[in-house]
A and B are shown apart, each in its own frame.
Chain A
């Protein structure tokens, strides 16, 4: 009866929120958990439940999976428009039962915040858990990837089928010996090396004998394929593999447990290549026919990317979301910036917005980020704005950026006026998540206007 009370209360709360014009994807779950703290386990689940977690890509993978399963004619319960914390998952499960508590969905695809595993996994008991990767995230909240792996492994049921990233030695170690598992990977790419570089390097030693690992290919952070030259330990073999990636033709080859199929490349960013092969692996585990798996990628909408570019006259204006507080994410953005051809000018405003007035941001994370990518000679100017501008400037200088190329401004929007747009082939607007609508938009508008003036003058 208590379960039904929680279900009814959550549904009524959601209805009330809708009447008030609010989305209500989190609060109904809070209400339900208040009435029945174990509601995630007590409410009846869809016939199959897939949880998707990881540091990066969990939203994309869960959305693509849900889309593909809908395309199979299944009734899919998901939290795609809501929260990935316990309350959001509780509400997604409740929304998938009727008022009498009977399941209305065939399958649940639930994105899971990796740190919330402790609260969610014991009750959710997913049939399948997909883990995209586990890399460094917020120092304050996530500590380090081994910690997140410990949380998830501590709460995983022994019979949950694991779909894991073989190119991530931390994620691929999830679970216990009894967990059935399959792995996915992206085969060696032209830009891969055998020598890890950068600040945030985890899983560098053999888990068996502590010897430094040797890398068959190293991609970034601890992503790649490694083996131990001393004891023979090696990364797990992946049954599901992406290879022959042709970004120009938007094609790749997916190896599906020995069955190679050409498929559409949904997005050429390496993280999204991993996401695509993870989705393929999960669909195969769920029993979707392989022809249908391949054809699903023909219609799947590419995930929202974290960059946008537009050409104004002769200059490329690039807006790049550079997630502050997360060094690993910044490293990928900086590396991507460096890959653009030509002379570059950069506006960098990535302070944590929420800590500007009532906190003093702990900037230790910037030393987990590879600002060294910005020391490239093609980056001719960097203008840093915001409270932590001197911390950022110091980090750039330590990374080897010529101090003559660094400017600072107290305001977050003034850099858009200070940056040299007259001599650049590409101008970059790097902002964080929480200042995207304020600083990010204002900077973009100012840069666009300045570049338009330059284009007029050039014409």
Chain B
């Protein structure tokens, strides 16, 4: 077993919606893990040493712009990392930092992102979307789909060829007209789902642990409760009565 190194970017501002528990839980699954917390005014560790998992979590709108500002000098290194085997996980609106543009008319800005991904985010500050999402991922069989939640101001439009984290069986994807949710590019997993993802999806977490360290048998912390919680949630997600019209995909405007 080699020590697992996890870097959390900007946790002092990227800590909304309980999502940093993704890393808390992962670190409990691997008690030997070294967690590096890199502040806004610090140099990211992944630039100088091997980091097994690079993580950025949910941000306020202001912090989203700061994250872009701080990562801009390291754009090439981040792009190279994504092209390598080293895993990068961006959750909720952190994914949008990697895109070409974030447009927020309500707050009066139209900002360039890092431009690593061909996607754009549009925020509607008086139109927060909340809903459930369920869909399979390639790492797991159809019996273990991802279950998660969206609660966000933004909708994302991406280039047609950009692979998703998952394709939603239920719920919406990057926006209300597509079931394709999130992004997979190289070693990057980007998803707008909260829950937190790794806590509410223990089977996926197990597969991620195996990917991060193929030489170590993955073990889940508090496995009994994690699996029981997943099974209970999945059973309810499979109950048609618990889905609402607002969680259904809509036809693209052009096709209506």
Contacts and interface: CB of A to CB of B under 8 A. Distances in A.
A118 B17 contact: no
Contacts of B233: 360, 391
Contacts of A394: 199, 222, 225-226, 229
A199 B11 CA distance: 11
Given A358-B241, A390-B232, A394-B199, A199 B40 contact: no
A201 B15 contact: yes
Given A147-B125, A403-B222, A362 B149 contact: yes
A365 interface: yes
B12 A201 contact: yes
B136 interface: no
B19 interface: yes
Contacts of A312: none
Nearest to A211: B41
Contacts, number: 113
Contact of B19 (A210, A364, A391, A393): A364
Interface in A391-417: 391, 393-394, 397-398, 403
Contact of A398 (B12, B25, B41, B132): B25
A347 to B, nearest CB: 18
Given A143-B153, A390-B232, A365 B128 contact: no
Contacts of A362: 130, 132, 149, 151, 194-195
A147 B66 CA distance: 16
B12 A205 contact: yes
A144 interface: yes
A100 interface: no
B46 to A, nearest CB: 20
A397 B222 contact: yes
Given A212-B12, A362-B151, A394-B222, A327 B132 contact: no
Contacts of B24: 367, 398
Interface in B112-146: 125-126, 128, 130, 132
Nearest to A391: B229
A22 interface: no
B107 interface: yes
B189 interface: no
Contacts of A211: 41
B20 A199 contact: yes
B15 A199 contact: yes
Interface in A345-383: 357-360, 362-369
A146 B16 CA distance: 11
Interface in B4-49: 12-13, 15-21, 24-25, 28, 39-41
A367 B18 contact: yes
Given A201-B15, A393-B225, A403-B222, A210 B40 contact: yes
A367 B196 contact: yes
Contacts of A220: none
B206 to A, nearest CB: 15
Contacts of B225: 390, 393-394, 397, 403
B61 interface: yes
Interface in B48-106: 60-62, 66
Interface in B191-234: 194-196, 199-200, 221-222, 225-226, 228-229, 232-233
Report, nearest first, the 5 A-B pairs whose CB atoms are least far apart: A367-B18, A390-B229, A367-B21, A394-B225, A397-B222
Interface of A: 118, 139-141, 143-144, 146-147, 150, 199-201, 204-205, 210-212, 327, 357-360, 362-369, 387-388, 390-391, 393-394, 397-398, 403
16 contacts: A139-B194, A147-B61, A199-B21, A200-B15, A204-B12, A205-B12, A205-B40, A210-B40, A360-B242, A363-B195, A364-B194, A364-B195, A364-B196, A367-B19, A394-B225, A403-B225
Interface of B: 12-13, 15-21, 24-25, 28, 39-41, 60-62, 66, 107, 125-126, 128, 130, 132, 149, 151, 153, 194-196, 199-200, 221-222, 225-226, 228-229, 232-233, 236-237, 241-242, 244
Given A201-B15, A362-B194, 9 more contacts: A139-B17, A140-B151, A210-B41, A212-B41, A360-B233, A363-B195, A365-B18, A366-B18, A393-B228
